[in-house]
């Protein structure tokens, strides 16, 4: 198979023939090609679902307007205890698990409740005490896109791992893509930083629609992928472990719940926690025949401790449980996680953004950026541009591939003969595989298939240009 | 000479790296061996036998990490009937021993009551409360209340004056 590199990449024609650089180019191109063919569909799904989920606040404010917004802003708000009592009167048999204090005067109050053993979310008007509605937060419109984004609408661990695998290979695609894009020979603006739009529909046109936007958006897309990885199952856990072992995550003595009497983690008993404090151990309240504090008292403590609204008060879990006040506000710098003795009101733990280590801070800022919350609408628009760009880049690559692929063959770049370069690149890929374990695992699987199947079946060998 | 310079440079580099890393680490200052920040523990003591009309002594022992704490600038005890039938009565707590605050309060008529201690200092704020009963019937009622409160949500705050 002959590959016309000159049409696909400006100035690459001069590197035709034998030599280190053309061989390296050919190898990188093969990795980029196969990774793109396999993972571009997943990246399109992630970009599409992400672009919708970015605008969750605006979408939900419209879809559930009557539930999330009060009809009329009154002069005085009911205190938390009074509002909780009104809700219980209106909905007998209900127990409240958490109570959120909003910052916006127009917002209703969100409560996590259990009614008839079914957990759900209830909203109430803080001026009238009226329940405005209940919502299964797992089944909202935007939650559908969140599930698509994080687990492809499927349940179990495997879909989440596939998403992580695709995102990790997204990093490889960006790195290899930038190498392929890098101008070689005589520099020309056209085809490098500006697309050549003259021959519409040509391979050159689609190559530029793929490579040029990819160059411009590479840093943004890379940032979005990297800021999403803390949520992932394998790499996310690794990031958390590194942050904990270097004491750069959140303040926790001895960095292990095993050193504490309690092994309950904050995420097991509290809601709306910042990512950085999800795994902090929960202390115990001192039991001794005392009466539990009221919601009003806990809210007053939170206010006096300078916790910025909105925040959520999670109820104590059992007699030795604690109240947890958590603020996972859009601005990470407002993050707060307080555990309060349910009887004495003593603040047992108090973790703020300023207390996080460097990794905790960077990850929290990254998560806010990933979700479009760090700097408002501009952040959302930036995220949208990256998502739409990623869809264009991925779709463009498919058109480009279909235009180039000869009949009866995959159209993959030929395998270079220089084994030294191939092995050298494999070592680099292996290093990436160590950083991103699922990438490493998938490389091993691909190598095994290549050695055991593709190379032994001539038809497959031809089809894959192996 | 060169070797000495290299050693000095190495030490300086290590020291700078440690300082930089220290600045990047999570703030764990002031935490105890259980990862908790300094906080107060309390022991609110209610007289064993309370009779209507008789003065009774209510005491609270306050400790900070096992040592008596008496840095409050504001302390008081509040008493009110559990059913909220009358407003809360407030009495200033007196420091009678290190970390020990007391108040002597005449017991009212039979019934279930609540006592709440409020202590505010520049560092801390605590507000523990307990129920107590005056009279035989009230003791039974209190036992019932305690049973119910095990499953109950937040307790109501003191009634307003």
User: What pLDDT is stored for residue A323 in this prediction?
Assistant: 97
A179 token code pair: 């190498």
How big is the A-B interface in CB pairs under 8 Å?
123
A112 token code pair: 């996590």
- Return d(Cα B86, Cα B80) in angstroms, integer: 7
User: What pLDDT is stored for residue B70 in this prediction?
Assistant: 93
Q: Tell me which chain B residue has its CA closest to the CA of residue A290.
A: B130
Report CB contact under 8 Å: A290, B128.
Answer: yes
> Does B154 contact chain A (CB < 8 Å)?
yes
Chain A nearest CA to B5, separation (Å): 30
User: What pLDDT is stored for residue B14 in this prediction?
Assistant: 53
Q: Under CATH, which number does the domain A65-139 receive?
A: 3.10.450.40
Burial label, A251 (beta-carbon count in 10 A; 0-12, 13-18, 19+): buried
For chain A, what is the mean pLDDT?
89
Total number of residues shown for chain B: 161
Q: Tell me which chain A residue has its CA closest to the CA of residue B34.
A: A260
A360 contacts on B by Cβ (under 8 Å): 26
- Residue B6: is its pLDDT beyond 80? no
Least confidently predicted of A236-250, A402-416, B5-19:
B5-19
- Residue A38: is its pLDDT beyond 70? yes
- Residue A269: is its pLDDT beyond 70? yes
Report CB contact under 8 Å: B34, A283.
Answer: yes
* Residue in A251, A319, A341 nearest the CB of B28: A251
B6 token code pair: 């290299």
> Does B150 contact chain A (CB < 8 Å)?
yes
Chain A nearest CA to B3, separation (Å): 32
Least confidently predicted of A27-41, A232-246, B24-38:
B24-38
In the 3-class helix/strand/coil scheme, how is B3-60 assigned residue by residue?
HHHHHHHHHHHHHHHHHHHHHHCCCCCCCCCCCCCCCEEEEEECCCCCCCCCEEEEEE
User: What pLDDT is stored for residue A403 in this prediction?
Assistant: 86
- Residue B36: is its pLDDT beyond 80? no
- Residue A256: is its pLDDT beyond 50? no
User: What pLDDT is stored for residue A290 in this prediction?
Assistant: 95
Indicate the pLDDT class of residue A352, thresholds 50, 70 and 90: very high
Chain B nearest CA to A456, separation (Å): 53
User: What pLDDT is stored for residue B106 in this prediction?
Assistant: 82
A69: nearest Cα among A136, A130, A112? A130
User: What pLDDT is stored for residue A149 in this prediction?
Assistant: 96
- Residue A253: is its pLDDT beyond 50? no
User: What pLDDT is stored for residue A415 in this prediction?
Assistant: 82
User: Tokens 């490889």, residue?
Assistant: A172
Chain A nearest CA to B44, separation (Å): 8
Please report how the helices B2-24 and A358-370 are oriented relative to each other, as an axis angle in degrees rounded to 10: 50
B28 contacts on A by Cβ (under 8 Å): 247, 251-253
* pLDDT > 70 in chain A, percent: 93
Q: What is the pLDDT of residues B69-127, one digit of tens each?
A: 999 999 999 999 998 888 999 999 999 999 999 999 887 788 999 999 999 999 999 99
Report CB contact under 8 Å: A81, B114.
Answer: no
Cβ-Cβ contacts under 8 Å for A113 (sequence gap 6 or more): A87, A91, A94, A95, A96, A97, A119, A120, A121, A122, A134
ipTM of this predicted structure:
0.80
* Residue in A260, A288, A360 nearest the CB of B34: A260
Q: What angle do CA A375, A377, A381 make, to 5 degrees?
A: 105
- Return d(Cα A68, Cα A63) in angstroms, integer: 9
Q: Tell me which chain A residue has its CA closest to the CA of residue B130.
A: A290
* Residue A92 per-residue DSSP state: T
Cβ-Cβ contacts under 8 Å for B70 (sequence gap 6 or more): B62, B95, B98, B99, B100, B101
Report CB contact under 8 Å: B157, A248.
Answer: no
Domain spans in chain A, listed from the N-terminal domain onward = 5-53+149-230+383-464, 65-139, 250-356
Report CB contact under 8 Å: B26, A250.
Answer: yes
- Residue A252: is its pLDDT beyond 90? no
A168: nearest Cα among A213, A222, A220, A218? A222
- Return d(Cα A298, Cα A25) in angstroms, integer: 63
A217 token code pair: 């958006």
User: What pLDDT is stored for residue A11 in this prediction?
Assistant: 43
B 91-120 → A contacts, CB under 8 A: 114
A260 contacts on B by Cβ (under 8 Å): 34-35
Report CB contact under 8 Å: B26, A360.
Answer: yes
User: What pLDDT is stored for residue B10 in this prediction?
Assistant: 59
A287: nearest Cα among A338, A339, A344? A344
* Residue in B34, B39, B130 nearest the CB of A347: B39
pTM of the predicted model as reported, rounded to 2 decimal places = 0.80
User: What pLDDT is stored for residue A60 in this prediction?
Assistant: 93
Indicate the pLDDT class of residue A448, thresholds 50, 70 and 90: very high
Backbone angles phi, psi at B116, to 5 degrees: -130, 130
Q: Tell me which chain A residue has its CA closest to the CA of residue B147.
A: A289
B155 contacts on A by Cβ (under 8 Å): 291-294
- Return d(Cα A383, Cα B70) in angstroms, integer: 54
> Does B145 contact chain A (CB < 8 Å)?
no
> Between A439 and B12, whose confidence is greater?
A439
A147 token code pair: 């599930």
Backbone angles phi, psi at A348, to 5 degrees: -90, -40
User: What pLDDT is stored for residue A1 in this prediction?
Assistant: 33
* Residue in B24, B44, B155 nearest the CB of A292: B155
- Return d(Cα A321, Cα B96) in angstroms, integer: 32
User: What pLDDT is stored for residue B16 in this prediction?
Assistant: 53
Least confidently predicted of A28-32, A148-152, A256-260, B14-18:
A256-260
> Between A431 and A245, whose confidence is greater?
A431
User: What pLDDT is stored for residue A12 in this prediction?
Assistant: 44
């Amino acid at each position: 198979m002959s590959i016309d590199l000159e049409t696909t990449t400006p100035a690459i024609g001069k590197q035709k023939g034998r030599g280190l650089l053309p061989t390296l180019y050919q190898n990188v191109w093969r990795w980029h090609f196969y990774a793109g063919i396999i993972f571009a569909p997943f990246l399109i799904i992630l970009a599409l679902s992400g672009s919708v989920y970015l605008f969750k606040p605006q979408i939900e404010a419209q879809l559930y307007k009557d539930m999330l917004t009060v009809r009329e802003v009154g002069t005085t708000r009911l205190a938390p205890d009074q509002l909780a009592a009104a809700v219980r009167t209106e909905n007998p048999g209900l127990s409240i698990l958490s109570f959120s204090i909003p910052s916006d005067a127009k917002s209703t109050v969100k409560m996590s409740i259990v009614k008839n053993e079914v957990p759900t979310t209830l909203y109430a008007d803080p001026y009238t005490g009226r329940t405005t509605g209940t919502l299964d937060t797992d089944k909202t419109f935007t939650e559908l896109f969140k599930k698509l984004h994080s687990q492809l609408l499927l349940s179990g661990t495997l879909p989440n791992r596939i998403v992580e695998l695709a995102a990790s290979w997204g990093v490889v695609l960006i790195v290899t893509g930038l190498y392929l894009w890098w101008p070689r020979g005589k520099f020309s603006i056209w085809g490098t930083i500006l697309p050549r739009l003259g021959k519409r529909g040509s391979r050159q046109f689609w190559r530029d629609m793929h490579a040029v936007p990819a160059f411009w958006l590479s840093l943004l897309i890379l940032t979005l992928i990297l800021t999403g990885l803390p949520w992932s199952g394998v790499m996310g856990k690794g990031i958390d472990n590194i942050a904990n072992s270097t004491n750069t995550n959140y303040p926790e003595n001895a960095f292990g719940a095993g050193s504490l009497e309690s092994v309950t983690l904050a995420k097991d008993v509290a809601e709306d926690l910042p990512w950085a404090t999800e795994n902090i151990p929960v202390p115990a309240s001192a039991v001794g025949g005392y009466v539990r504090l009221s919601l009003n008292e806990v809210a007053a403590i939170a206010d006096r401790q300078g916790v910025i609204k909105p925040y959520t008060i999670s109820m104590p879990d059992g007699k030795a449980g604690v109240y947890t006040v958590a603020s996972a506000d859009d601005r990470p710098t407002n993050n707060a996680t307080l555990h309060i003795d349910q009887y004495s009101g003593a603040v047992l733990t108090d973790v703020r953004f300023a207390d996080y280590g460097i990794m905790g801070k960077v990850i929290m800022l990254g998560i806010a950026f990933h979700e479009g919350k760090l700097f408002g609408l501009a952040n959302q628009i930036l995220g949208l541009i990256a998502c739409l760009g990623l869809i264009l880049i991925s779709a463009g690559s498919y058109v480009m591939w279909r235009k180039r692929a000869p009949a009866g063959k995959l159209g993959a770049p030929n395998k270079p003969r220089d084994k030294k370069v191939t092995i050298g690149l494999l070592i680099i890929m292996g290093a990436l595989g160590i950083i991103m374990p699922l990438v490493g695992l998938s490389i091993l699987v691909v190598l095994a298939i290549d050695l055991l199947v593709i190379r032994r079946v001539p038809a497959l060998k031809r089809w894959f240009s192996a | 000479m060169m070797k000495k310079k290299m050693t000095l440079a190495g030490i300086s580099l290590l020291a700078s790296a440690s300082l930089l890393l220290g600045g990047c680490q999570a703030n764990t200052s002031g935490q105890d061996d259980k990862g908790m920040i300094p906080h107060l523990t309390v022991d609110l003591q209610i007289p064993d036998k309370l009779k209507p009309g008789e003065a009774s002594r209510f005491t609270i022992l306050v400790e900070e990490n096992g040592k008596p704490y008496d840095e409050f600038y504001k302390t008081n005890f509040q008493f009110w009937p559990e059913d909220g039938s009358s407003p809360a009565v407030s009495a200033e707590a007196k420091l009678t021993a290190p970390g020990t605050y007391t108040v002597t309060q005449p017991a009212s008529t039979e019934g279930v009551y609540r006592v709440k201690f409020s202590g505010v200092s520049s560092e801390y704020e605590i507000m523990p409360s307990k129920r107590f009963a005056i009279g035989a019937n009230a003791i039974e009622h209190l036992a019932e209340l305690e049973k119910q409160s095990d499953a109950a949500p937040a307790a109501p705050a003191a009634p307003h004056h």
